[in-house]
Structure 1
Amino acid sequence: MRPVLPSLTTTISLPISYFLFLTALLISIVKASPPVGTLHYREHFYVGAHYVSQPDASASADVPLLADGQIYVEHLTPASGASKEHPLLFVHGAGMTATNFLNTPDGRMGWADWFLGQGYEVYLVDQAARGRSPWLQQVDGPQTSFSTQTVESLFTAPERFALWPNASLHTQWPGVNGSVGDPIFDSFFASMVPLLSTDVESGMKNQDALVALLDRIGAVHLLTHSQAGLFGWSLADARPHLIKSLTALEPGGPPFSGDVLSPTVPSRSWGLTDIPLNYDPPLPNNSPDALNKDKIVTNDPARDGYTCYAQSPPARTLPSLKNIPIVVVTSETSWHGVSDGCIVEYLKGVGAERVQFVRLQDHGFHGNGHMFFMEKNSLEIVASVVGPWIADVDRERTARRERLVVAKVDDP
């Protein structure tokens, strides 16, 4: 005898307690799930590639070619559509990738997601020859990597090493102690990648690729961190009309010399960068040797006697930076607290009329270090400091356009 299957109209009775159990289970799952962030569309592409001959190829009419210099670009768009006129472009620092801004090492929402929620399109890149941007062994220069001790002492647990003033005040890194064996540290360190050994090669490759990116996508709000701060100055110098604002989170520096960790080591021969900038008057033979330098010692207690360098008067200017809104953001406990002020003073000296300097402790944020955009209070910082500054730039630009329209209407 064949079994009889229930028809579509068959009613199956279950006790109400079963449905109550399912409802409670679903609620508990939702509560236990991490925040999903902002719903968005995602695409990726590569830009900046050029073909080079394979160095070890035999001489022939058909020389094998390689693609070099390209960078990986991730493009995120709010699912509801972008409400802001210009997107944000994030460029990460040394030894890291674009994942820095997607979420924090302990799984919280990152800054990219926060800006998506404010209606911005977001672009994130992996630096040239880094991460998902290919490093070619036959073409590119040698690489280096950060050790666990370097990461602990500079980024995640500087309070244990006290290599500079205020390091002992660091408290905001998530996790147990910011050291090997702490799951949050281990997760962060696992994301570190090799980087090019020389700042000159990094500067040139990233300059070329980032210029190609801006030429493709148009004007942006640029946000850089650490090593990428140098790329920000050179990119603004090359494409000033495409930089609507520049947010430099503890940019690489200071001008002409090493930071507090190596203050006597010459560096950044072009002042802000290791690669050429368009000074006015132009430098003879396009050589930075013509940039005359003066030592500047200030009474700023945050400097702890640190010596800055500036140009001897009359200083050459960087006309491309004159009208770009720039903010340098520095944490309370990072080594950058000693020397970032030197960068701001140099920017003013070369004619950057709209530069501002923000120390997070002056806005009530204490205990933060060099990686403050992924520390415990990262979302409070972006919501209270960085996000509003960029929004103010947009409002000011809109108001200026409206004044120009009114002026044209009133002009007989």
Structure 2
Amino acid sequence: MFNTLSGAGFLFTLLQLSITCISSQTQLEGTLHRRNYFYIGEKYDNTPGTNNGSEIAFAQMYVEHLVPANVTRPLPILMIHGHGMTGTNFLNTPDGKLGWADYFMSEGFEIYIIDQPSRGRSAWQMDIDGDQSDFDATYISSHFTAVEQFNLWPQAVLHTQWPGNGTAGDPIFDNFYASTMPSLVSDKESSIKVKKAVGELLDNIGPVVLLTHSQSGQYGWILGDSRPSLIKTIIALEPIGPPFINAVFPPLTSARPFGLTEIPVVYSPPISSPSDLETEIVPSLSNSSLGTTCFHQAAPARQMINLKEIPTLVVTSESSYHTIYDACTVEYLAQAGVPVTHVQLANVGIKGNAHMMFMEKNGLEIAEKVVLSWIQKTMQ
């Protein structure tokens, strides 16, 4: 016999069913895990504008630690975001789908995600930290999310994978743009702070798979150089480059005086200043009409000695501006003795991506077929 429900009871039953459905959907889509966070790298200085002995903390770095219920991989993945971004890049996509953190937890990896010092949840301190800048909405659209509409480089027309139209007013774009953050103007200052804070993190947590994106690409070389025993592989998604000079977007000014970094890394034979790195143009990888001059070292090339035992993967999408110069970055690494592999996504059948590939519609395909595949092959 069926029980007759009152109106209130019927509504309560529907509510229970709805909660159950939502909970089941979440469990099906997500990965059961524990989450905690902590800070590292902080220092104290006099509170600006005071002389009474009060102090303020600065240079601290936010670290988020995600541990799946079933850890099956021996090494965690440390993910470092790019300029204008925070660690939220890897949590989910702007259209609400699972991000790379969840995917790799489902594959049994612990995950560490940071906000770079002076960015996002890692507080920027006025009158202590350096100047900041931010990206306007048009910059984000033209460089990352709607590149096919602006056509600033030839491959931009191939972009198809951003979820939404990529411009202000589209809810997906608005959600993404709202997540962008002011960033330190000086890449040198950022590099010094990241080297210190992430170095301390690595000393605490041990060896990792290091995954970088864009601006943080140079941190891969810096951290691999300073903690070579703790970086077991570097996965660089479109790392900042090319060597020694900015490209594509004017002004094409000098940058990265140590080749691929703003701060010193160890070379063999040693160098005492950037001027010790003698350079020459690589004509086959340069294109003045596209705003790219590719430099490498004049022979015999000095070796980036601390990176020579770290397998390195550089990933380039089909329609990003990085298609123009990532090959130059890879050539520089190889010439300096770094064991580097370059995967261009279009060459492995993954098409239509721009610079924010891990947020795009086929982002999990990239995670599985390229990044996970590399880790499994390299960590054998």
The alignment's TM-score, normalised by the length of structure 2, stands at 0.93
Distance (whole Å) between structure 2 residues aligned to residue 73 and residue 259 of structure 1: 32
CA contact (8 A) 1:54 1:138 kept: no
Q: Please list every run of 5 or more consecutive structure 1 residues that lacks an aligned counterpart in the other structure.
A: 1-10, 396-412
1:120 match: 109
1:197 match: 185
Distance (whole Å) between structure 2 residues aligned to residue 43 and residue 305 of structure 1: 44
Give how far 1:68 is off: 1.4
1:37 match: 30
SS of residue paired to 1:181: coil
2:242 match: 254
Instruction: Show CA shifts across 1:127-182 (max 9, x none).
Output: 0100000111021011111000110000000111111120111110002x100000
Matches within 5 A, 1:123-134: 123-134=112-123
Quickly say closer, same or farther: Cα 1:279–1:108, change in 2 above 3 A: same
1:266 match: 254
Matches within 5 A, 1:40-189: 40-58=33-51, 63-80=53-70, 82-175=71-164, 177-189=165-177
2:347 match: 362
CA contact (8 A) 1:297 1:306 kept: no
Give how far 1:321 is off: 0.7
Give the % identical residues: 49
Quickly say closer, same or farther: Cα 1:138–1:304, change in 2 above 3 A: closer
2:303 match: 317
Aligned length: 373
Distance (whole Å) between structure 1 residues aligned to residue 81 and residue 217 of structure 2: 9
Distance (whole Å) between structure 2 residues aligned to residue 27 and residue 280 of structure 1: 62
RMSD: 2.4
CA contact (8 A) 2:248 2:291 kept: no
Distance (whole Å) between structure 2 residues aligned to residue 108 and residue 25 of structure 1: 23
Quickly say closer, same or farther: Cα 1:36–1:243, change in 2 above 3 A: same
Of 286-295 and 212-221, more deviation after overlay is shown by: 286-295
In terms of Rg, which structure is larger? 1
Give how far 1:306 is off: 3.8
1:381 matches 2:366? yes
Instruction: Show CA shifts across 1:194-218 (max 9, x none).
Output: 0001111111111111101101111
Task: Look up the equivalent residue of 2:347 and give its one-letter code.
Answer: D
CA contact (8 A) 2:286 2:294 kept: no
CA contact (8 A) 1:257 1:268 kept: yes
1:391 match: 376
1:334 matches 2:291? no
Q: Please list every run of 5 or more consecutive structure 2 residues that lacks an aligned counterpart in the other structure.
A: none
CA contact (8 A) 1:331 1:337 kept: yes
Task: Look up the equivalent residue of 1:310 and give its one-letter code.
Answer: H
Of 384-393 and 84-93, more deviation after overlay is shown by: 384-393
Instruction: Show CA shifts across 1:89-142 (max 9, x none).
Output: 000000010000000000000001000001000000000100000111021011
SS of residue paired to 1:227: helix
1:410 match: none
Distance (whole Å) between structure 2 residues aligned to residue 355 and residue 263 of structure 1: 29
